Amino acid sequence: MKTYSLFLALFISTFFIAQENNIAKIDSIIASKVKNDHPGIAVGIIKNGKIIYEKYRGLANLQHQVQFDEKTRSNIASTAKQFTALMILDLSLNGKLSLEDDIRKYLTKIYPNVKDEIKIRHLLNHTSGIRDYVELLDLEGDVWWKRFGFDNDDILELLEKQEDLGFKPGTIYYYSNSNYNLLAKIIEKVTSKTFNEYSKTFFENLGMNETAFVDRYMKVIPNRANPYSDWGRGEWWEVPTVTKTNGEGFLFTTLNDQLIYEIALQNAKKENNILLIESQKPIPNSEIKTYGFGLELEDKLVRKAVHHSGVTYGFHSQIYRFPKEKLTVFIMSNNGNISSNLIAQSIAKLLLTKSTQKPKYNSKFQEAKNLKDEVTILGKYTYPNENSVVEIQQKKGKTFWKEKNFTVEMVSEEKKVFSFTNNPKLKVVFYNDKMTEYYPSGKTMHYKRINTLPVSLSDLEGLTGNYYNSELGVNFELKLTKENKLKCKLSTNKGFSDIEMYNKTYLQTDNFFMKIHKDQFDRVTEILLTYGRAKNMKFKKKSNLKFQPKISTENGSIQVTTIDAKKGNTTDILLTKNDKEGNEIWFKRLGGRSWDKASSILSTEDGYLIIGSTSSYGKGNYDIYVIKTDKKGKQLWQNTYGDFYNEYGYSAKQKENGFLIKGTQQKCDSNSDINRKCTTNVWFVSINENGEEVSNKILEQIKD
């Protein structure tokens, strides 16, 4: 018995010594990040349902030298999303709404033209396709934090002007604050109370009496911390809070209130609190399992974790929950120069035992490793969400992953399997048409290889012009410099910025990722612009669409135009060779006795292909007209394609053993001009190298 008692005493003594050592180390971590006279921090740790650490350091207010302490209420920003989601889940469990409800059941004026269902659960885990209001306001030219009194009603009004979504709901995860502003509006519709009234009662029921969302931007919040950062200036600056949005953030709370909630979460199973238990799980029926009820659900520190961060102004916060270990670390701060996330991870590593959990790579990882096919590694790849491009490149025998502002070395583990020098557990496998990242948690990310065909001067010229977004009332201009460099300027910006062309489809400036859309005739009609969390904004080309009548050559250009015939009552086609200064070297006049029109010209290995329309030849009215010449403009052959009504040729594309001619075809229900009904369709004609028709296909009807 004495031996057992001695062992127990030694065990308890060792436990407390270890705990005291950890506390001293945690104190040291915090002290190394925050000085006593700097903006402050609050750190709380819960273990097995009890508070084992509570620390305050620094100042809540620099001007008046007010300490950051247990009374201080700080803004936890996006970490507040879990509480908005908790209210929605509570209403769902009580039958007041369904997570499968389309949001337009409650918000009737939003996205009337979107046919896909936008469900409440899509808002909860950022899979709705709804763009972030922060970026939308930025595109309008006035950042959100300068808009006095800006609130959820203003956000709803802004989103009601949006005609479409950034992507089909439920298909991808794309974080957007707007989702949670809309959830707050839905809560108001369902409860017939303002969000502030309803949430205040909700927090009181949780025992969080010092917690509330912003109500009025000028309203005094007792014991409120102010946000600070030096923003690289070397002196503290404060950003005034002039907005009053809520649901997505702007929740002022104390560390004590947050610890009350964390204790309730850790005791939820013991007390059979269904609401809190379900709130930590993935959303039922959701396509995305890595984000739930306002919480991230991806593993952290090689173990199961539930977590979220929040950053706004100089405020920030971080919550890490490790359910199996019954350990929670919560941090909030008004010091914009530090990271709650990094501090929380450092603390968690001290308190967690070494994980025995092995990496759980997706099952296809091993399959991919065993594939024997040869693959190309170097090249450019689009991100899974098509919002950026990654280039895999080699320098001095080393392989690098390069993004616009980020480069990291990759290490070859096997022939087509790589890892990163800064994260060896993250693997990359290369395939013929893509590369895939395999995470230890089982998560995968697929990057699509893009072709890198050189962009011609003609391609650049086809991009120039003005593009307009009617939802925001803003436009941008693309122009070419004398050096044939493409530049971009948003109407709300002062100057032009350089553009990087990845290929004929993707381009990027410092702030915008763009995807080019063309019509059936290869003309640029609109550009999808992604800016941060606002994805696929449609900017339609305002300038008149033109076909390509001019192409560059090594020593000048070749150009086709439509000109009046010699007698003046018909037209001919003029082919002109010009030098680099645009001076004419030679010309050729082509066509027949009637009306002949040129639309575009295509360079071939042995000459040029002219595409247009003619009433001089063919089967009646206008037919598609194609002329093949040699490099000196001598006609090699000509041919027409069409029937009795009007067919017009616009552009051509070279393919194996011939060309694809793109134009339109008219069909009418009568040959009479009286009460005749006609339709015009996009019409593609395949021809061989000698101009003989191989096949043709009607693609779609053109609306008049």
DSSP state of 103: G
pLDDT given at position 7: 53
Angle subtended by helix axes 81-93 and 178-191, to nearest 10: 40
Question: Could you tell me if 489 and 617 lie in one domain?
Answer: no
Question: Could you tell me if 181 and 242 lie in one domain?
Answer: yes
pLDDT at 370 over 80: no
Question: Could you tell me if 246 and 101 lie in one domain?
Answer: yes
- CATH number for 406: 2.40.128.50
Torsion of CA 107, 108, 114, 115, to 10 degrees: 110
pLDDT at 10 over 60: no
In a domain, 217, yes or no: yes
Q: Radius of gyration of the chain from Cα atoms?
A: 32
Question: Do 124 and 130 form a contact (C-beta atoms < 8 A)?
Answer: no
pLDDT given at position 567: 72
In angstroms, rounded to a whole number, what is the distance separating the alpha carbons of residues 436 and 449?
A: 11
CA–centroid distance for 509 within its chain: 15
Domain boundary among 351, 383, 412: 351
Question: Could you tell me if 378 and 282 lie in one domain?
Answer: no
Q: What is the pLDDT of residues 114-156, one digit of tens each?
A: 999 999 999 999 999 999 999 999 999 877 777 888 899 999 9
In a domain, 240, yes or no: yes
pLDDT given at position 462: 86
In a domain, 651, yes or no: yes
In a domain, 23, yes or no: no
Write out the residue range of the structural domain in which residue 495 sits: 457-541
In a domain, 273, yes or no: yes
Question: Could you tell me if 475 and 575 lie in one domain?
Answer: no
pLDDT given at position 611: 96
pLDDT given at position 14: 53
pLDDT given at position 3: 56
In a domain, 557, yes or no: yes
Higher pLDDT, 134 or 220: 134
Q: Give me the percent of the chain exceeding a pLDDT of 90.
A: 72
Higher pLDDT, 369 or 518: 518
pLDDT given at position 586: 93
Write down the mean pLDDT value for the chain: 91
Q: What is the pLDDT of residues 578-609, one digit of tens each?
A: 998 889 999 999 999 999 999 999 999 999 99
Lowest mean pLDDT among 151-160, 231-240, 362-371: 362-371
Residue 406: phi and psi, rounded to 5, are -155, 130
Domain boundary among 395, 422, 450: 450
| Structure token digits, residue 421 | 């020098």
Question: Could you tell me if 412 and 487 lie in one domain?
Answer: no
pLDDT given at position 374: 80
Coil vs helix vs strand at 18: helix
Domain boundary among 450, 475, 498: 450
Alpha-helix residue ranges (DSSP H) falling in 34-94: 81-93
Residue recorded with tokens 């308890």: 12
pLDDT given at position 145: 74
Single-letter code of the amino acid located at 197: E
The helix, strand and coil proportions of the chain, stated in percent and rounded to the nearest 5, come to 20, 35, 40
Q: What is the mean pLDDT of residues 208-217?
A: 92
In a domain, 135, yes or no: yes
In angstroms, rounded to a whole number, what is the distance separating the alpha carbons of residues 389 and 161?
A: 30
6 Cβ contact partners less than 8 Å away, ≥ 6 residues apart: none
Question: Could you tell me if 615 and 529 lie in one domain?
Answer: no
Question: Could you tell me if 293 and 372 lie in one domain?
Answer: no
Question: Could you tell me if 65 and 85 lie in one domain?
Answer: yes
271-279: which pairs have CB atoms within 8 A and are 24 or more residues apart? Answer: 274/93, 275/86, 275/89, 275/90, 275/93, 278/89, 278/93, 279/82, 279/85, 279/86, 279/89
pLDDT at 173 over 90: yes
Residue recorded with tokens 């909860």: 124
Count of structural domains within the chain: 4
Q: What is the pLDDT of residues 484-497, one digit of tens each?
A: 899 999 998 888 99
| Structure token digits, residue 616 | 């001089």
CA-closest candidate to residue 129, choices 106, 162, 152: 162
Q: What is the mean pLDDT of residues 677-687?
A: 93
Question: Could you tell me if 103 and 146 lie in one domain?
Answer: yes
Q: Which residues of 477-493 are buried (b: 16+ CB within 10 A; e: fewer)?
A: bbeeeeeeebbbbbbee
Question: Do 590 and 572 form a contact (C-beta atoms < 8 A)?
Answer: yes
Question: Could you tell me if 678 and 564 lie in one domain?
Answer: yes
The model's pTM is 0.86
Q: What is the mean pLDDT of residues 372-388?
A: 87
Q: What is the mean pLDDT of residues 364-375?
A: 79
DSSP state of 453: P
| Structure token digits, residue 511 | 């702030």
pLDDT at 6 over 60: no
In a domain, 26, yes or no: no
pLDDT at 456 over 90: no
- CATH number for 69: 3.40.710.10
Tally the C-alpha atoms within 13 A of residue 85's C-alpha that lie toward its C-beta.
29
pLDDT given at position 528: 96
In angstroms, rounded to a whole number, what is the distance separating the alpha carbons of residues 155 and 389?
A: 31
Question: Could you tell me if 513 and 593 lie in one domain?
Answer: no
Q: What is the pLDDT of residues 405-454, one digit of tens each?
A: 789 999 998 888 999 999 999 999 998 889 999 998 888 999 999 987 78
